[in-house]
Amino acid sequence: MPRGQGSSVSTRENPKVDRATDSNDDSRKNRRGAYLLLGLLIVFLHGSWSVYQIQFGSLPLPLDAEQAGKRGFSEASALKHVKYLTGLGPHPVGSDPLDHAIQYVYAVAEKIKKTAHWEVDVQLELFHTDIGANRLSGGLFKGKTLLYSDLKHVLLRVTPKYLPEAEENLILVSSHIDTVSTTEGAGDCSSCVGVMLELARGVAQWAHGFKSGILFLFNTGEEEGLDGAHSFITQHHWRNSVIFAVDLEAMGISGKSTLFQGTDHWALESFAAVAKYPSAQIASQDVFSSGAIKSATDFQIYEEVGRLPGLDFAYTDTTSVYHTKNDKMALLKPGSLQHIGDNMLAFLLHSAASPKFLKDAQQRKQGKTEQDRAVYFDILGKYMVVYPLRLATMFHNSIILQSLLIWGTSLLMGGHPALVSFAISCLSIILMWIFSICLPVVVAFALPYMCPFPIPYVANPWLTIGLFGSPALLGAFIGQHIGFILLKRHLRRVHSKAKTGITPSMIENVTDLEAERWIFKSGFVQWLIALILGTYFKVGSSYIALIWLVSPAFAYGFLEATLSPVRLPKQLKVVTLVVGLVAPVVSSAGLAVRMADVIVGSIVRIDRNPGGLPDWLGNVIVSVAIAVVVCSTFVYLLSYIHISGDKRILGLLLSLSFGLSIALASSGIVPAFTEDVARSVNVVHVVDTTGVHGGHIEPVSYISLFSNTPGKLTNELVDLGGEEFSCGRNMTTDLVTFTVKYGCWSYKESSTGWSRSEVPVLLVESDSVIGGARQTVVSVDTKSSTRWTLGINKDGIDDFTVQVDSEKIVLPGDKSEIDGWHTIQFAGGKNSPTKFQLTLYWSSSKPSEREAKQAADAPLLVKLRTDVNRVTPQVARVVEKLPRWCTPFGKSTSPYTLAFLTALRVDI
């Protein structure tokens, strides 16, 4: 920093003594009152919350059909479609309700075709897929092969009637009709289907002026592993005409549909230029692409398989209802569909009519231009900023170099005292992070022992402010204050040796003020390091670090620093803090709140292997996330507290906030779960024949109860009296795609509701050695099930093929594995095949070692789970007795309510 206020005083210099610091009363004058500090804290928190509400909470007024007009977007009209689709109940692949949903979408599309502008050509098609195999290499699909059959999609192509070349240049708009088996899918993704139907109606009135056509794809099979998008992009005759893809998704219900993935600068710029209510965050793209969120969208298919540029949008409000019974019409917020509808209609009209957009998309698809990554974000949902990542890197590097130059010059001018002060201020940052993380983590470990549920705040996320925010803020202050004390000791020695002629009381006052400035400037160091790391790893959201560095530094340099001869420091101005934090709060406070909300909502399904994670892990994740936000955003504000005479009041207020939150959570006054924000609890009737080869004659049948939410099922069993459940870690169930490591079993009346004719069959047809390599052919009969999962032990198997009749649908080739297993997932319609031939190619390496292992424990070679979408009487009775704050959670790897298990062992 420049010499002057804030720099350590060299022993060779005699600073001028201002009259303002020439009195013993100065120490008291420099103490900020409790009301001022409390006011600053309230302004900061209220400002952050206001930014969040403006950026993510404000929605446009919904329009009815008359207000929208013939060419506009009407939320009321879109909601009619959503209401019908949700009224069908859950409609997963292969179900009758899904057939009804497809028929409805097709019928609405026919009306759109009939009412289109006379110069617009509308082509409608019901596409019936062939059997196919989807093998993506990354993300959730590592170690998996996804098979599908008998899927049906509705395609609606809108092109200008007198421009044939538009048919060869299509902008794809895609979403899925199907839901998981546990929800009616109001958000995921009936709302998307309703929006697309209303968009298609409007676009059909505009397309006579288009240069590109628009193709609306209403696919099925997305919930089973992106099968619908894959079948279109690999099988349909229009696939080669698509030059750009837009995907609409949901990871929650309603609110603003945010752009969270975008491939190219020019596409993002096009959206930013016309979006009426832009909502876009590259920070979400960074988190999603990192794998921290265990999810995927059809966009992955369009990008990886289709090699298409595009944009991906999703709802993220109330993410706790994702794939549960609470994804329902009643929770859709008014204005949500209007928001994405207005944005998408404006974008489609602009991009389809733009020759430049057409040219850019064609060049990108043909590989004539490389993917041009960009930084993008919205400001309060009003404006959208887009610029190339390469420009961001150049700008960041410039700021980094300038910052390092300023710091280096300042430290050289300050000499040894300044270097020591700098080191201690950096230590204060480290201590702040350590204490801020440790205190809430201790609370996170303790919560499972203090509250009825390990995570008592899901239904009321505001509890995390007291449970984790207060300890995090207190810890941050304690760690920073330790650094402040060490700084004072160092500066006191420096000034005492300087022999400047100032009194001991003045030295004490000066050290307070100078230490305060060093603590404030340590925030620059923190964000400079973040900017350096983000730029090095090409993290798009590094712009946040840039704003948190530059804005406070500019405010400090403009309002505090001076080029006059060295003077004794003065108290930091409050206006410096306020001015310095305006831009950072506006740019990132809303995003921080949204990220915290998504993390809290995701805790209800964090345990992918129920009982496999400690009860405290979800709390630790939330507490660390909140501590990171506190340390990142409060680093400047906390520096104003250290010379206050009211530090005890701050500690008292934070302790009271924490104590009140603990009391509310532990007493159950504030419920951990409600009917609308419920705990994940799945009930499955399991018929297990894996032990038949071990000597059992009859299959083992039981009702399995498990939860993806941390915590035991003690509270649920209170309402299940008489159902004879036994719980524990010995009640494990291997469901192929995951293992229930803590669950509950009940054998009561479980022998009925299913028949032996439904039990799948694994039969060894041949086991031979051909050309020195062992091959085993296994026939797989899934009986009535058209949804199944099969695991292959890769410990002894090098490769495999899958054949239906005479057609090989899985060919030989490298196949990845997870924990030694490769998984095949199949999902299809009612007419899908149920008999398959699996050929296993054994490894020829180290046969003696493998045979010794096989002889020792005879592990499973192949394991199979088949699903039947039927509720047995026993399951129905248990579900009816479960508390209203329980909900089943569904995903592509989850079993239906009736599941059959069988296996083959290695010693076949």
Distance CA 677, CA 463 (A): 15
> 224 Cβ partners below 8 Å, 6+ apart?
92, 93, 146, 148, 178, 787, 825, 827, 892
The pLDDT > 90 percentage for the chain reads 82
> What pLDDT digit, counting tens, does each position of 769-784 carry?
888 889 999 999 999 9
Claim to verify: residue 365 and residue 432 sit in the same structural domain: no
Helix H or strand E segment including 498? helix 470-498
SS (H, E, C) 437-459: HHHHHHHHHHHHHHCCCCCCCCC
Are 589 and 50 in contact by the 8 Å Cβ rule? The answer is no
Distance CA 385, CA 376 (A): 5
Looking at the domain assignment, is residue 275 inside a domain?
A: yes
Are 187 and 601 in contact by the 8 Å Cβ rule? The answer is no
CA distances from 296 to 222, 225, 261, 288, 671 (A): 10, 8, 11, 9, 31
Got the DSSP string for 154-221? Answer: EEEEEEETT-GGGGGSEEEEEEE----TT---IIIIIHHHHHHHHHHHHHTTTGGG-SSEEEEEEES-
Report DSSP state, residue 818. Answer: B
CA distances from 808 to 132, 185, 186, 341, 771 (A): 10, 35, 38, 43, 21
Average pLDDT over residues 364-383: 91
Q: What angle do CA 7, 9, 12 make, to 5 degrees?
A: 140
Claim to verify: residue 611 and residue 684 sit in the same structural domain: no
Amino acid code (one letter) for 735: L
Is 128 in a helix, a strand, or coil? Answer: strand
Claim to verify: residue 485 and residue 520 sit in the same structural domain: yes
The structure tokens listed for 826 are 């199949």
**For 495, phi and psi rounded to 5 degrees?**
-70, -30
Report DSSP state, residue 709. Answer: S
Looking at the domain assignment, is residue 398 inside a domain?
A: no
* Region at 206 (left for phi over 0; alpha for psi -120 to 50; beta for the rest): alpha
Q: What is the pLDDT of residue 284?
A: 94
Q: Number of C-alpha atoms within 13 angstroms, CB side, residue 316?
A: 24
Looking at the domain assignment, is residue 195 inside a domain?
A: yes
Are 293 and 287 in contact by the 8 Å Cβ rule? The answer is yes
Residue 607 has pLDDT above 70, yes or no: yes
> What pLDDT digit, counting tens, does each position of 706-745 carry?
999 999 999 999 999 889 999 999 889 999 999 999 999 9
Claim to verify: residue 559 and residue 476 sit in the same structural domain: yes
Distance CA 319, CA 482 (A): 39
Report DSSP state, residue 338. Answer: H
Distance CA 491, CA 495 (A): 6
Q: Scanning the structure block, which residue is given the tokens 């009041």? A: 649
Q: How confident is the model at residue 698 (pLDDT cuts 50, 70, 90)?
A: confident
Closest CA to 798 of 833, 765, 774, 770: 774
Task: Indicate the residue among 623, 642, 667 that finishes a domain.
Answer: 667
Residue 48 has pLDDT above 60, yes or no: yes
User: β-strands 152-160, 120-128: how paired?
Assistant: antiparallel
Burial label, 635 (beta-carbon count in 10 A; 0-12, 13-18, 19+): buried
Counts for the chain of helices (H) and strands (E), in that order: 24, 28
Q: Which residues pair with 886 in a beta bridge?
A: 679
Looking at the domain assignment, is residue 400 inside a domain?
A: no
Looking at the domain assignment, is residue 770 inside a domain?
A: yes
Q: Scanning the structure block, which residue is given the tokens 């139907």? A: 197
Residue 5 has pLDDT above 90, yes or no: no
Claim to verify: residue 716 and residue 747 sit in the same structural domain: yes
Task: Indicate the residue among 638, 667, 696 that finishes a domain.
Answer: 667
Peptide bond into 886 cis (omega under 30): no
Distance CA 119, CA 116 (A): 8
**For 114, phi and psi rounded to 5 degrees?**
-70, -30
Distance CA 187, CA 251 (A): 8
> What pLDDT digit, counting tens, does each position of 315-369 carry?
999 999 999 999 999 999 999 999 999 999 999 999 999 999 999 999 999 888 8
Are 597 and 320 in contact by the 8 Å Cβ rule? The answer is no
Q: Number of C-alpha atoms within 13 angstroms, CB side, residue 832?
A: 27
Q: What is the pLDDT of residue 21?
A: 43
Distance CA 905, CA 908 (A): 6
Closest CA to 208 of 124, 119, 123: 119
Are 677 and 602 in contact by the 8 Å Cβ rule? The answer is no
Q: Among 28-37, 593-602, 852-861, where is mean pLDDT lowest? A: 852-861
Amino acid code (one letter) for 295: S
Claim to verify: residue 420 and residue 343 sit in the same structural domain: no
Looking at the domain assignment, is residue 54 inside a domain?
A: no
Beta strands in 787-874 (DSSP E): 787-793, 797-804, 807-810, 821-828, 835-842, 860-868
Question: Packing angle between helix 389-450 and helix 617-633, nearest 10 degrees?
Answer: 130
Distance CA 908, CA 8 (A): 79
User: β-strands 170-176, 242-250: how paired?
Assistant: parallel
Q: How confident is the model at residue 24 (pLDDT cuts 50, 70, 90)?
A: very low
Residue 695 has pLDDT above 70, yes or no: no
CA distances from 610 to 142, 707, 739 (A): 21, 6, 7
Distance CA 728, CA 1 (A): 61
Claim to verify: residue 652 and residue 694 sit in the same structural domain: no
Q: What is the CA radius of gyration of the chain?
A: 31
> What pLDDT digit, counting tens, does each position of 734-753 carry?
999 999 999 999 999 999 99
Q: How confident is the model at residue 11 (pLDDT cuts 50, 70, 90)?
A: very low
Are 511 and 30 in contact by the 8 Å Cβ rule? The answer is no
* Region at 858 (left for phi over 0; alpha for psi -120 to 50; beta for the rest): left
Average pLDDT over residues 612-641: 96
Claim to verify: residue 150 and residue 187 sit in the same structural domain: yes
Distance CA 73, CA 275 (A): 14
Are 619 and 338 in contact by the 8 Å Cβ rule? The answer is no
Q: What is the total count of domains within the chain? A: 3
Claim to verify: residue 344 and residue 214 sit in the same structural domain: yes
SS (H, E, C) 826-842: EEECCCCCCEEEEEEEE
Range of the domain at 865: 678-844+855-907
Are 363 and 530 in contact by the 8 Å Cβ rule? The answer is no
Closest CA to 181 of 298, 100, 85, 98: 98
> What pLDDT digit, counting tens, does each position of 393-419 carry?
999 999 999 999 999 999 999 899 999
Looking at the domain assignment, is residue 45 inside a domain?
A: no
Beta strands in 338-424 (DSSP E): 374-379, 383-388
Claim to verify: residue 466 and residue 357 sit in the same structural domain: no
Amino acid code (one letter) for 810: V
> What pLDDT digit, counting tens, does each position of 786-825 carry?
999 999 999 889 999 999 988 899 999 888 899 999 999 9
Residue 10 has pLDDT above 50, yes or no: no
Average pLDDT over residues 243-255: 95
Q: Which residues pair with 701 in a beta bridge?
A: 687
CA distances from 843 to 90, 857, 861, 862 (A): 44, 19, 13, 15
Looking at the domain assignment, is residue 252 inside a domain?
A: yes
CA distances from 361 to 107, 262, 498 (A): 32, 13, 68
Task: Indicate the residue among 609, 643, 667 that finishes a domain.
Answer: 667
Got the DSSP string for 543-604? Answer: HHHHHHHHHHHHHHHHHT---SSPB---PPPHHHHHHHHHHHHHHHHHHHHHHHHHHHHHGG
Q: What angle do CA 294, 300, 303 make, to 5 degrees?
A: 155
Claim to verify: residue 354 and residue 431 sit in the same structural domain: no
Distance CA 894, CA 842 (A): 29
Q: How far is CA 670 from the centre of its chain?
A: 26
Distance CA 124, CA 154 (A): 8
The structure tokens listed for 626 are 């909140």
Q: How far is CA 322 from the centre of its chain?
A: 12
Q: What is the CATH number of the domain that holds 117?
A: 3.40.630.10
Q: Among 198-207, 446-455, 489-498, 527-536, where is mean pLDDT lowest? A: 489-498
Neighbours of 844 (CB within 10 A): 12
The pLDDT > 70 percentage for the chain reads 93
Residue 273 has pLDDT above 70, yes or no: yes
Claim to verify: residue 656 and residue 740 sit in the same structural domain: no
Got the DSSP string for 412-446? Answer: HHHHHHHHHHHHHHHHHHHHHHHHHHHHHHHHHHH
